[in-house]
Amino acid sequence: MPTKKTKIAEARRDYNKLNRAYHTIGKKAFGKPKKSPVHKDYELVKRARNAAGRKLGKLTGVRR
């Protein structure tokens, strides 16, 4: 059974990885139409990043 510390570390690694991807794809999607494939990928990464952030927040106690 993983400890809370390892769960937080894993969640933080996931969030940081998704955060880097979010910023990278955001630069490519900037100025593109909403229906373009790159913008749809951006929205997908955005949802995953927000979910990872919520998970991290719940584990660290920032979010209840």
The per-residue pLDDT for range 8-42, each reduced to its tens digit, is 999 999 999 999 999 999 999 999 999 999 999 99
| pLDDT score for 41 | 97
| DSSP letter for each residue of 1-45 | ---HHHHHHHHHHHHHHHHHHHHHHHHHHTTS-TTSHHHHHHHHH
Statement: residue 46 has pLDDT above 80: yes
Token pair, residue 25, equals 């794809």
pLDDT surpasses 80 at 63: no
> What are the residues whose beta carbons fall under 8 Å from the beta carbon of 58, sequence distance 6 or more?
64
Q: For the whole prediction, is pTM greater than 0.85?
A: yes
3 state DSSP class of 64? coil
pLDDT at 62: 84
CA–CA separation, 62 vs 3, rounded Å? 18
State the pLDDT at residue 58: 94
